[in-house]
Amino acid sequence: MLATFAHEWPQKLLDELAQFGRYGLQFNQPLAPYTSFRIGGPAEMLLTLHRIENLINALDLLHRHRAPFLILGGGSNVLIRDEGVAGLVLLNQCREVRWPEGAPPLVRAESGAPLAQLARASLGRGLAGLEWAVSVPGTVGGAVVGNAGAHGQCTADSLRRIRLWRNGEVVEMAAHELAFDYRTSMLKRRLAGSSRPWVVLEALFQLQPDPTREAQKRAEAYIAHRRRTQPVNKSAGSIFKNPPGDYAGRLIEAAGLKGLTIGGACVSKKHANFIINLGDATAADVLALMTRIQEEVLRRFGVRLEPEIQII
């Protein structure tokens, strides 16, 4: 939770911020609708950004005032606590996508663009490289920060460079500078304990021509596999990271925890590494269930599962 409150912010700053938001500066706004879990308390202040220039201007203004903020994209890999967020949340809905001409084929996507939508658009143009993401929720920015992946591939495989807001300046960084690892990056590691994070503005991906449409066939197989093996209920995706040489879902299922329910939160019977919202789950329910899973897997198998989701 941000350790600042609206009444502590200068009115001039609040007025200046309001001009950048599509709906002005909103107060006490529920955040649950902006998460795939549909769970979470309100933001004390919410600023929704649809243009990358406005996002940069808002970030620069906050930097000059040394004001903390939380950036939220697609909300697919997060659990927002029931108390909500004190201070300012920036909701990134900057979604422009451009296709530069030339070879090799490239695509530039703003960080608020939905990742799965970008993958489908790439396939529609006969391009391979992002087909693994056709059913992966979340935004391009979140995928870069968390090195999202599926089916043996990940964001780092096709990412070439990013445009980044960093401490009041806009810089470009090559993919190799981001120190990618399994479901993490230098950017994600910086998030821990930071109230003024670096913000991904845009990502440049390098794709490959797919004249035989093999990528489209793979994508269709991935979508079918997802429908067979993962729940369609409201969730945050995979809850725990896979431990080295094993799978979190296998361990949770082997511990007999499929279907375990606390309040409105339930371990999916379809995939044990998913916790689903049965309709009225609270963040407290999910956290209690996560703790129970960790304790039981540790007791049974000596493995401590680490959360993959970000708890806000």
- Distance of CA 137 to CAs 8, 90, 91, Å? 36, 19, 16
**Which residue, among 214, 207, 210, 215, has the nearest Cα to 104 in the 3D structure?**
207
User: Measured between alpha carbons, how far is 253 from 251 in angstroms, rounded to an integer?
Assistant: 5
In our burial notation (b when 16+ CB lie closer than 10 A, e otherwise), range 175-209 reads beebebeebbbebbeebeeeeebbbbbbbbbbbee
Catalytic residues: 183, 238, 308
At 299, list the tokens.
Answer: 């007791």
Give the 3-state secondary structure of residue 169: strand
User: Measured between alpha carbons, how far is 133 from 118 in angstroms, rounded to an integer?
Assistant: 9
SS3 readout for 153-164: EEHHHHEEEEEE
